[in-house]
A and B are shown apart, each in its own frame.
Chain A
Amino acid sequence: MDWLNAIVQGTLLGGLYALFAAGLSLIFGVMRLVNIAHGDLIVLAAYLGLTVTSALGIHPLASLLLVVPAMALIGYGLQRGILNRTLGGDLLPPLLVTFGLSVILQNGLLEIYSADPQKMNAGLLETASVLVGGISLGILPLAMFAIAVAVIAGLQWMFYHTALGRAFRATSDNQAIAQLMGLNRAHVFGLAMALSLAVTGIAGVFLGIRTSFDPSMGGARLIFGFEAVIIGGLGNLWGTLAGGVVLGIAQAIGAQINPGWQLLAGHIAFLVLLAVRPKGLFPRMDG
C-alpha cells in the first residue's frame, strides 16, 4: 500500500512539474529559446503571490488574479526589451543573458526578502483530503493536478484553434516567411513569453502554497521542468505532462526507499530515459 500511495502522490506531484515545464516547452517551441532564468521566475511568482496575499489579506488562490497578469507583463517586457535582441543564429547570447538574469533575480530576491524560507498559508485547503480506495488524496495536490491538465489542454487548444496559436506555429516553422505574411516577429515572441510567464505565475503560486520556498531554489525548479520536457519529448505538451508524472513518480519511489534519494532518483530516471530513449517518450519535433 505504501508503494501504491507513493505512486499516486508522485503522479499528483507530476502535475506541478508539468506546470514548471509547460512555459519552458512553449517558448522553446515558438522561438527555440531556453530560458535559464525560468526557475527563478517561478520563485519570483511565488514571492509576488506572498506579497499580494499578505498586503491585501486575501487567499493565495485569489492572488492568482494579480500574479498571473503581472507575470505576463513582465514576460512581454523582458522579451521585447532584452531577449529579442539576443535571438538569432547564435546559441550563446540567449543562454548567457538568461543566465545573467537568473543571477540577478536570485540575488534581487535575496536582497528584498532575505534567505529565510517563506510559505503561503492556504488554510483548510492544505490539509483537506478525500479517501479513495484506502489512499488519502490531498485536495490541494488533486487541484494542482487538475489545473495542470486544464492549463495544458488550454495551451493545446490555443495552439491549434486560435489565430494566436497559428501565429506561434507559423513563426516556429519559418520566421522569415511569417514576417513576410505580416506577422510582427518581435510582438509574437513577446506574446509567447507573456503566455509562458503567465503559466509560470500559476506554477509559482502553487509552489508557494505546497512547500516553503527561498530565493535559492529556482535552479532545481528549472531542472525539474527541463527533465519533464525531455522525458515527454520536445514540442509535445501532453508528453510534457507525462514527463512530469514520470519524474514525480520516480522521486516519490526514491523517497520511499530512502528520504535522501528523492531528488537523485528523479535525476537518474531522467538519465536512464535519455540513454534508452534520447528523443523522449512522445517526440514531436527535433531539438
Chain B
Amino acid sequence: MSASQYRIVQSSGASRIAAALGLIVLALLVLAPYWAGRADLRLLGEVLLYLSLASLWNLLAGYAGLVSVGQQAFVGLGGYALFGLTMFGGLHPVLAVLVAGVIGGLVAMPVAALIFRLRGAYFAIGTWVMAEVFRLSAAQVSALGGGSGTSLPTPVVQSLADGRDAREALSYWLALAMALLALAVVYGVLRSRNGLALTAIRDNELAARSLGIDIWRTKFTVYVIVGALTAATGALLFLQKLRISPDAAFSANDWTAFVIFIVVIGGIGTVEGPIIGVIVFFLLRETLADLGTTYLIILGMFAIGVMLLAPKGLWGMVRARSDIQLFPLRRKVVAKPKD
C-alpha cells in the first residue's frame, strides 16, 4: 500500500474524445476564411468573441461568485483604448489590442479595490455604476467624438493588412485566437491552485478562509485577469465594427445581458456551458432576430425559465444524466494496475 501505487488523473475517456473532436472543429475554424463567405465569416467572428466574453463572465460569476452586471465597462474601455492608441499613439492595431488588454488589467485593479467593498448583490449594481462612469466619461472625450462617437480612420484600417479579404481574415483569426485564449485561461485558472481555492470559496467561504485561503486576493486576481481579457475582447469587437460610440461601447444589453443569458442557458459554473450557450444564443438570434423586441422578451423568459427549472443550464441537464466532463477539472485517485 505504498503511495506510489496510486496516481491522480484528471482526464477521462470522454475528455479525450472531446479533445480529438475539438481539434477537428478547431482545424475547420482556422480554415474558415477559405470556406466561409464574407457574411458568415463576420458572424463566426462575432460568435467567437461572444464565446470569449461568456467564458470570462462565467469564470467571474460562476466560479468566483463575483456577479458583475458591468462588464461592458471593460468591453468599452478596450474599444476606446484601441481607437485612442491607433489614432493618437500610432500603434499597429494588433499591438493596440494587446495594450488594450494590459490597460484593462491595470484599470481593473483600482476598480476592484473600490467595488469589492460592496457585498453580494450590491456588488452587482456597483459594477453597473462603474460602467456608467466609464460611459459618461467617454462621452466627455471630444478627441474621440464625444457623445456621438467616431470611426476608425482609413489609414489605420489599411495598416491592418493589404486588401479587404486579408483584413477580414486577419480580424477573424484574431477573434479565434481571443476565444481560444479566453478558454485556455479560464481552464488554466480553474486547474491551478487558484482554481481549487475558488471552488473551496464557492462551496463554503468560512471553511475556505479557515484553511488559510486569502479570499480577497483570490477574487482580486480573477477580477483583474477577466478585466484584462474582456478589454482585449472589446478591442477586437470594435476592430470588427470599425466605429465606436459611448452608447455602443458601454451597452449593458449587448455586452452584459446577452452574455449573462448565454452563460445561464448553457450552464453557469461549467467550462462547457458558455460554449453550448453561445451556440444556442446565435441559433435563436439568427432565426428570431426579425421579431425585434419580441425576440428579447422571449430570450428573457427563456433565461428565467432555465434559471427556475434547470438552474445548472443545458449542460447541467446533460451532466445530471451522464456525469460527463469535456474539460476535466476533477482529480481522481486511481490505483495502478499490478504488473
Contacts and interface: CB of A to CB of B under 8 A. Distances in A.
Interface of A: 28, 32-34, 36, 82, 85-86, 91-97, 99-101, 103-104, 107-108, 110-111, 219-220, 222-223, 226-227, 230, 260-261, 263-264, 267-268, 270-271, 274-275, 278, 287
Contacts of A93: 307-308, 311
Given A111-B294, A267-B132, A274-B118, A36 B69 contact: yes
A100 B125 contact: no
Interface of A (DSSP majority class): helix
B308 A82 contact: yes
A210 B152 CA distance: 40
A268 B307 contact: no
Nearest to A267: B133
Indicate the member of B115, B264, B293 with the most A CB atoms within 10 Å.
Answer: B293
B65 interface: yes
B117 A97 contact: no
B53 interface: no
A278 B308 contact: no
A103 B124 contact: no
Interface of B: 61, 65, 67, 69, 114-115, 117-122, 124-126, 128-129, 132-133, 136-137, 139-140, 252-253, 257, 260-261, 264, 268, 293-294, 296-297, 299-301, 303-304, 307-308, 311
Contact of A219 (B118, B252, B293): B252
A110 B294 CA distance: 10
A96 B129 contact: no
Contacts of A264: 133, 136-137, 140
B118 A34 contact: no
B293 A111 contact: yes
A11 to B, nearest CB: 22
A267 B136 contact: yes
The DSSP consensus for interface residues of chain B is: helix
Given A95-B67, A264-B133, A111 B297 contact: yes
Contacts of B253: 103
A100 B252 contact: no
Contacts of B264: 96
Contact of A263 (B69, B118, B119, B132): B132
Given A92-B61, A108-B297, A260 B129 contact: no
B139 A260 contact: yes
A99 B69 contact: yes
Contacts of A270: 129
B158 to A, nearest CB: 34
A96 B118 contact: no
A93 B294 CA distance: 23
A94 B114 contact: no
A104 B297 contact: yes
A287 B300 contact: no
Nearest to A219: B252
Contacts of A268: 133
A78 to B, nearest CB: 12
A107 B114 contact: no
The 9 closest A-B pairs by CB, nearest first: A34-B121, A287-B119, A103-B300, A278-B117, A104-B300, A107-B293, A100-B304, A100-B300, A107-B296
A36 B70 CA distance: 13
Nearest to B303: A100
Contacts of B128: 219, 223
A104 B294 CA distance: 9
Contact of A271 (B129, B299, B300): B129
Contacts of B311: 92-93
Contacts of B261: 100
Q: Chain B CB within 10 Å — which of A28, A85, A95 has the most?
A: A95
Contacts of B121: 28, 32-34, 91, 94-95
Contact of B308 (A97, A108, A267): A97
Contacts of A226: 122, 125, 129
A103 B115 CA distance: 24
Contact of A107 (B69, B125, B300): B300
A264 B311 CA distance: 37
Contacts of B294: 107, 111
Contacts of B296: 103-104, 107
A191 B252 CA distance: 31
Given A264-B133, A267-B132, 20 more contacts: A33-B121, A91-B121, A92-B61, A93-B308, A96-B260, A96-B303, A97-B308, A100-B261, A100-B301, A100-B304, A101-B304, A103-B299, A104-B296, A107-B293, A108-B293, A260-B140, A264-B140, A267-B129, A268-B133, A278-B118
Contacts of B140: 260-261, 264
